[in-house]
Amino acid sequence: MTEKEKCAAGILYNANHDKELIRERIFCKDLCQEYNEIKNSDAERRNEVIRKILGSVKANICIEPAFWCDYGYNIEVGENFYANHNLVILDCAKVKFGDNVFIGPNCSFYTAGHPLDVRQRNEGLEYAHPITVGDNVWFGGNVVVLPGITIGDNAVIGAGSVVTKDIPANTVSVGNPCKVVREIVTEN
């Protein structure tokens, strides 16, 4: 199995010495740097470059610079997506955002994690587990989402939260670690 195949399977792999993964990260980071340097007034060029970075993109997407990711092709973005400044997505595994997702500034989504065993960690081994975000989700500023998390439709994640466990649909969740504080009830 290649290191890329191990990564896709969610098992320990080494991204530090694998030429294919290194080449893909450099290619993506060069595109991210290009994107971040495009003038805000050149919306057409920004739209063109972000679509080269991301794996799947629907219409009406806006990611304010600076934006960084590892590979790009593992990121799927739904319709009507907005991310404020300083979005970081470590997309060693899939990161899927539904429709109408709004992300505050300085948010991070990490699919990559490292083993607790010091020898494995020192060898450069890591794992990657996907992140899935449903429709109509709102993230306050400075939120961190850890590997393997699923966030349900219509959820609100409060500013400064560190999401370490799945978040159910129709809830407001806050804190470190992030916990549900109430359900969202829609009045008719």
Cα–Cα dist 33/48, whole Å: 14
Cα–Cα dist 170/185, whole Å: 8
The closest alpha carbon to 128, from 89, 86, 83, 101, belongs to 89
The number of CA neighbours under 13 Å toward the Cβ of 130 is 12
Active-site position among 17, 85, 114, 129: 114
The closest alpha carbon to 178, from 168, 170, 187, belongs to 168
CB 111 within 8 A of CB 95: yes
CB 52 within 8 A of CB 68: no
Can 129 be counted among the known catalytic residues?
A: no
Which residues carry out catalysis? 114
